[in-house]
Chains A and B, each alone.
Chain A
Amino acid sequence: MGLAYSKIDGKSKEFYILLILFSIFTLIGFICFMVSYISGHHVLGSSSIIPWGMPITITIYLIGLSAGSLILSALTYVFGKEEYRPIARLAVYLAIILILGAMIGIALDLGRPEKTWRLFMFFVLNNMRSMFAVNGILYGGYFLIGMVYLVTIFAEKYKFITLMGKIAIFWAALVHMGTGAIFGFIATRPIFFSPIKPFEFLAAAMVSGLALLMITVVATFKFTKRNLNQELIFSLSRYLRVLIIVLAVMVLVDKLTHLYSPHRDPTLWLLTGPYSWIFWILQVGFAYILPVLILFHPRFGKTLKGVMVAAFLVVIGIFGERFSLVIPGTAYPLPFYPGKIEGIWGMAGSFPITPVESFMSLGIFTLMGLLFLVGLKNLELLPVTPPSPQRGEGKGEGGT
């Protein structure tokens, strides 16, 4: 209570450089989108065997980050943990722009983006048995809830904030479990099909959202020269390592289940085939093993640098987790009939990386970065630097 927030000045050279850089890449991304819109998805390297590529992977990643971020803001507003109040606003704002980025990502990946409105015709023109359609409700509602939440936070109507916070946690959990359900309910793809997918996604959301939040907070506070209570980061890192373990256990259970017939062959292919490096190095290595090792290390895990390295690894690693789900999941050749299927119908899909797709994806990220910078400058998101302890006003009390 009593913590004051302010906008950043946003006049430094670094700020403008970042702003311009982000704008340029966003523009390039937009141009790439127009190219793909006019001449078709073939410029993105899309195919009928791996229909979902980079944009969808990024979308589900961003949804996870967003949901995680929003749930963590609830630590303050719902569970009343005061030590996280300095970053709570940032968390909410981050969640909003992440979900905006995700929705833009979905729109970009559609074959006919001008028909995006069809995703919002709930019950009238939408088939509500489709998890995609249900997710339409979830994401739209999530965005609105996030906006209302942020507004109530700015208005400092504490009763509503708590209420919105509770709704937000609940809805955010639903959102990312919904995203997991998109994959988990598809029996055709054995690597997807699993009832644990929604929970796995929720855990991944918490892990990645938390890690991204930690990185964003440290970076933003550093750039805007505000003091950050490092204990805040360390306590978050303790949450992080537990969540990673929870996630790793879920993934372990999922893969172990699939190693039994009838899903054994595709799972073995994932673990030992051409895409296994994504699973082992990015997902298991970067997201689970290395961060846990770092965060449990008695010395390194207690330094800010160590925590940041771990968080960075997690952010990359969870992206790798999404990637190792989407791409190998759809690349595995469908077994129409027992035996060796000859030629193109029996080949595993390959994922070509095209510049148009890469720049378009980069554009989504830079767009969000742009919105972040603009928000920092125009909204009161960051806490004012608390006075130094010599003034004797105690921790946690507001200052100018």
Chain B
Amino acid sequence: MVIDLDKCVGCQACSTACKNENNVPYGSPDDQRMRRDIFWNKVIAVTNGKYPRVNTELISMPCMHCDHAPCVTVCPAKATYRREDGIVVQDFRRCIGCKYCIVACPYGARSFNSKEQEEKEYHRPDLPPDRSVWGQWPFPTRTHGVVEKCTFCFHRIDQGIKEGKKIGTEVVPACVEDCPAEARIFGDLDDTHSKVSHLLSSRAWIRLREELDTKCKVYYLLR
């Protein structure tokens, strides 16, 4: 995924759309104070400088789906693993909730689901669009006691592959689809014709925490 920080408007639609799409539990004020709230995608504000020469970057961070993911290395139950196509999957059935992956993740992308969602009435009480797309279907909600993280909406991707749609243009994760500024681009890094390849070759990019050599796959284009 490529996130263009110059186009990004810091609106947090990505976080909200993700919560909607994946039925991510929301937390109460206490949950936020105790840092139990769950975010699959978070927007952080990083400030440098002093008045009036101040700069705040608003950076949206999904799971980085690293190729050398520390979380994949440390999961004892093979609940998180890297798929062929590069997505780091979180299998909620296998997860035993040992939280080792949360300790290992350098991006704080993982959250521990520590209580049942209070109100289950709305959003996602349903099956996926196509019942043959089972797998690690994470809906309607996860149980408490497991670790959750952004899945690059693999339910959409798998469904899209099944229907022969083009990934990156016709099928994208919810955050990419609902970003009003179109600052998020999703696609096949190995495909030289994809938009992500084009962007990464024409603009200077960085990845977060490069010093940890996670070979993460979310690239940021700077302002």
CB distance from A376 to the nearest CB of B (A): 34
Complex: A265 Cα to B104 Cα, angstroms: 19
Contact in complex: A40, B77 (CB < 8 Å): no
Contact in complex: B112, A109 (CB < 8 Å): no
Contact in complex: B212, A187 (CB < 8 Å): yes
B203 at the interface (CB under 8 A from A): no
The interface bits of chain A over 91-113 (1 if a CB of B lies within 8 angstroms of the residue's CB, else 0) are 00000000000000010011110
Q: Which 9 A-B pairs have the closest CB atoms?
A: A111-B97, A111-B145, A40-B144, A51-B99, A40-B115, A132-B76, A133-B76, A47-B35, A339-B48
The interface bits of chain A over 110-149 (1 if a CB of B lies within 8 angstroms of the residue's CB, else 0) are 1110011011000001110111110010000000000000
Specify which of A129, A336, A347 is in contact with B61 (CB 8 Å cutoff).
A336
Specify which of B72, B78, B97, B104 is in contact with A110 (CB 8 Å cutoff).
B97
B81 at the interface (CB under 8 A from A): yes
Inside 8 A of B31's CB, which chain A residues have their CB? 42
8 CB contacts below 8 A, A to B, read: A40-B113, A40-B145, A51-B103, A136-B76, A186-B103, A334-B106, A341-B45, A344-B32
Across the interface, name the chain B residue whose C-beta is closest to A115: B96
The interface bits of chain B over 165-177 (1 if a CB of A lies within 8 angstroms of the residue's CB, else 0) are 0000000000000
A260 at the interface (CB under 8 A from B): no
Complex: A52 Cα to B146 Cα, angstroms: 14
Contact in complex: A48, B35 (CB < 8 Å): yes
The interface bits of chain A over 24-58 (1 if a CB of B lies within 8 angstroms of the residue's CB, else 0) are 00000000000000011110111111111000000
- Taking Cβ atoms with an 8 Å cutoff, the residues of B that contact A are 31-32, 34-38, 42, 44-48, 56-57, 59, 61, 70, 72-78, 81, 94-100, 102-108, 110-116, 143-147, 208-209, 211-212
Specify which of A49, A112, A125 is in contact with B95 (CB 8 Å cutoff).
A112
Contact in complex: B35, A349 (CB < 8 Å): yes
A258 at the interface (CB under 8 A from B): no
Specify which of B72, B78, B110, B145 is in contact with A125 (CB 8 Å cutoff).
B78
Contact in complex: B116, A40 (CB < 8 Å): yes
